[in-house]
Structures are given as structure tokens and as C-alpha cells.
Copies of this chain bind each other. A is one copy, B any other.
Amino acid sequence: MRYPRSIRLLIEEFKKLPGIGEKNAQRLAFYLLGAPAERAQALASSMLRMKETVRHCERCFNLTEDQLCDICLDPGRTEGLLCVVQSPLDLMAIEATGQFRGSYHVLMGVLSPMRGVGPEDLKLSELMERVSEGNVQEVIIATNLDVEGEATASYLVTALAPLKVKITRIARGIPIGGSLEQADSLTLGLAIDGRLEL
């Protein structure tokens, strides 16, 4: 004798989620079994609702439930300063700093020959088009500081060059609370190169 079929099926579905193993999946299934029916209904319907309603902003590819996202619709955001990020989560990380009042463009990935991701798989032509419109004065490239993010940044510099726009890259350096002794020498070298006058 094993669990009734519908419990086993639910456990299998939970196990497909990231970071959920057999034991965790069992615990979740039995929790829901014992919980009021409304709990399972609320979870199920919020999953389906999210899949139905969330889409990408037609302008910047941020997540939204409308045609354009909150940021693109905000008249207080500077169109002249355009920050290019890999994913909506990176955009949200920058928003969480509360320091940036420009606009964004989400590439929806990075160039990765290893994984077969080329320029045509990213929102690059859309970026070129936005910059071509002439309102953008500066493009801040905020892709990750890893190999793929740096390669994508280099590609963007070349691609944007004909458009005569100022291109900047987020600063590389020692993180707050970090120690010079433990920093890798590449980062430390870049931190010295990028020093600011006090």
C-alpha cells in the first residue's frame, strides 16, 4: 500500500519545483491535505492567475499586467537615461536601491555561444530602435559582471557605436564590507582604475 493516487500525483508535481525534494514534497502535500480547502484553492488560482495575467512590457520588457509597465508609464522617469539589464529580476534589484530614476530595457538574457543564445534571441533590435528614436542620452550597461555579461556588454558597445550615444558600465570594485585582502586581483585592479576623487 502506498499513498492514494492523487496524493502521489501531487507529490510528483511538487517535486518538479526547484529546491523541492521528495521529503519536502510529501510535507507540502500532507500540509494541504490537512489544511482548509480554501488554502489549496487560493494557491491554485493564484498560480493560474499569474500565468494568465503577467506578461512583458511592450516597450522595456519588464514584467507587467498591462501593455506598458509601471516604470514606462511613470512620467517622472527620465527617458534620456536608459539602463540595460539581463532580466526583470535585475531590474527589480536596481529599483530596490531607490537611486535610479531613469528607464530600463530588459534584454531577456545574455549572449551565450555555449547555450546557443545569439543576438537575435535577445531584445536587441528593440533596444537599437529605442535608442535610435533620439531621446536617449546615456545607455548604462548593467549586465552581470561575469563572462557572458561582459561579452554582452562588449557587443552592445559595438552595436550602439553608430548611434552616437554615451555608453557607460556599472562600476566594478570592492563591495561594501569587503576587504582588499580577500578581493581577487582583477577586481582590485579595476577598483583602482575606477577610483573617484574625494
A residues near B (Cβ < 8 Å) are 1-7, 9-10, 12-14, 16-19, 24, 27-33, 37, 39-54, 63-65, 69-71, 74, 89, 92, 95
Contact = CB atoms under 8 A, between A and B. Distances in A.
Contacts of A39: 16
Contact of A51 (B19, B32, B74): B32
Given A16-B39, A37-B51, A46 B3 contact: no
Contacts of A17: 28, 31-32, 43
21 contacts: A1-B69, A1-B71, A1-B92, A4-B54, A4-B64, A4-B65, A6-B49, A6-B53, A12-B46, A13-B46, A13-B47, A14-B43, A17-B28, A17-B31, A17-B32, A19-B24, A19-B27, A33-B50, A40-B48, A43-B44, A43-B47
- Within the oligomer, what is the number of copies of this chain? 2
Contacts of A70: 1
Nearest to A64: B4
A47 B63 CA distance: 27
A34 to B, nearest CB: 10
A46 B9 contact: yes
Contacts of A19: 24, 27
Contacts of A32: 17, 47, 50-51
